[in-house]
A and B are shown apart, each in its own frame.
Chain A
Amino acid sequence: MSSLLEVRSLTKKYGNFTALSDLNFELESGKITGLLGPNGSGKTTLIKIICGLLQPSAGNVTVKGYPVGVESKKVISYLPDTTYLGKSSSVEEVIDFFVDFYEDFDRDRAYDMLGKLGIDPHTRLRTMSKGTKEKVQLILVMSRRADLYILDEPIAGVDPAARDYILNTIITNYDENASILISTHLISDIENILDEVIFLKQGRIVRKSSVDDIRTNEGKSVDGLFREVFKC
């Protein structure tokens, strides 16, 4: 398997505060990776650097061999941890916008998922609950045929039933060669769909391994190991 994402000696400082310290790792094609860590451990900072929204202080990131830039952004589908869609737009209008903007956007796939989650495309985002807006954003992100999906806290605001559907959407809607990087605190909800995990603690990687290795070697769940490693 070839590596899709390469992170080399990546450091990010905010003034005197070091948010990420000399990170090195690779993600292979076709894997679902959990990016796990407590609040303030650097998850979102790392994601924003990979997506080109923040500049690293040192080190570099390549996606499919491209440095972060236009080419890397084409192949990454990113779900940010905040809402960025215009509130006065309807779902339909936002989808039209995405179709114009991304050449790999699959309109039918988006409408199909909306239908399954019972979301009316004519609804305006302004009138939607937080959870419904999150679902719409996830649908938009998963409707692209990207090489790397980066999901920052994708299921935090949605109810458990919709969570199951969303996880199912994630499993069934990415192709075999695409990879997914998911950051979350809700480990027990997602750990069965992960191939591997990266534990981030105070800007450093303290563990990167396959989830079945954790279960075999430690005899505990990823959630259990997380609680142990990050015990307060």
Chain B
Amino acid sequence: MSWSLNSDRPIFVQIIEHMEMDIVSGALPPGSKVASVRELASEAAVNPNTMQRALSEMERKGLMHSERTSGRFVTDDENVISALKIELAASGVDGFVAQMRRLGLEKDEVLNMIREKY
């Protein structure tokens, strides 16, 4: 259970999040071959159909592509990967801002804290 998936949310969504993070961080380098559905399903301890669904969704988003005989590969398009990085960062910032608002902090206070910590 190394992927620490949460049973309250759809599993395929969490698999996509996990793999997107791997692509952005370089754990899954551009152009690299993706393990088989079976191997990944086994590693994540999920149903192969669920893994298949997640991978198809990644292909639809242009993050991966299949080659008929040789398997599935991570995109080597740097633009796609940078766009994904920005998208993930933006959703992280949204969550962060929402949480700071709940804590009742002003924008300047938060910015100062970020400057100190970053």
The interface bits of chain A over 191-232 (1 if a CB of B lies within 8 angstroms of the residue's CB, else 0) are: 111110000000000000001100110011111100000000
B94 CB–A CB distance under 8 Å: no
Q: Which of A171, A215, A223 contacts B47 (CB 8 A)?
A: A171
B73 CB–A CB distance under 8 Å: no
User: How many of chain B's residues touch chain A, expressed as a range?
Assistant: 10 to 19
Q: A172-B42, A195-B47 are in contact. Are A164 and B1 (CB under 8 A)?
A: yes
| CB nearest neighbor in A for B38 | A172
| Pair B42/A193 contact, Cβ less than 8 Å | no
User: How many of chain A's residues touch chain B, expressed as a range?
Assistant: 20 to 34
| Pair B48/A176 contact, Cβ less than 8 Å | yes
| CB nearest neighbor in B for A193 | B47
| Pair B10/A223 contact, Cβ less than 8 Å | no
- Point out the residues of chain B lying under 8 angstroms from A171, CB to CB: 38, 41-42, 45-48
Q: Which of A31, A32, A167, A192 contacts B7 (CB 8 A)?
A: A192
- Point out the residues of chain A lying under 8 angstroms from B46, CB to CB: 171, 192-193
**B51-105, CB < 8 A from A:** none
Q: A168-B42, A171-B41, A172-B38 are in contact. Are A223 and B11 (CB under 8 A)?
A: no
A30 CB–B CB distance under 8 Å: yes
A16 CB–B CB distance under 8 Å: no
A188 CB–B CB distance under 8 Å: yes
Q: A172-B42, A212-B12 are in contact. Are A30 and B49 (CB under 8 A)?
A: yes
CA distance A212 to B50 in the complex (A): 9
**B1-55, CB < 8 A from A:** 1, 5, 7-12, 38, 41-42, 45-50
| Pair B49/A215 contact, Cβ less than 8 Å | no
| Pair A192/B38 contact, Cβ less than 8 Å | no
| Pair A195/B49 contact, Cβ less than 8 Å | yes
| Pair A215/B10 contact, Cβ less than 8 Å | yes
Q: A176-B48, A195-B50 are in contact. Are A212 and B11 (CB under 8 A)?
A: yes
| Pair A191/B49 contact, Cβ less than 8 Å | no
- Point out the residues of chain A lying under 8 angstroms from B47, CB to CB: 32, 171, 192-195
| CB nearest neighbor in B for A187 | B7
| Pair A224/B45 contact, Cβ less than 8 Å | no
- Point out the residues of chain B lying under 8 angstroms from A176, CB to CB: 48
The smallest C-beta distance from A25 to any residue of chain B, in angstroms, reads 18
The smallest C-beta distance from A1 to any residue of chain B, in angstroms, reads 11
The smallest C-beta distance from A199 to any residue of chain B, in angstroms, reads 16
CA distance A211 to B47 in the complex (A): 11
| Pair A215/B9 contact, Cβ less than 8 Å | yes
CA distance A178 to B41 in the complex (A): 16
- 13 sampled A-B residue pairs with Cβ under 8 A: A32-B47, A32-B49, A171-B46, A176-B48, A192-B5, A192-B7, A192-B11, A195-B50, A215-B9, A220-B8, A221-B7, A224-B7, A224-B8
The 8 closest A-B pairs by CB, nearest first: A221-B7, A212-B10, A215-B10, A193-B47, A221-B8, A172-B42, A192-B46, A216-B10
- Write the residues of chain B forming the contact surface with A, with a CB cutoff of 8 angstroms: 1, 5, 7-12, 38, 41-42, 45-50
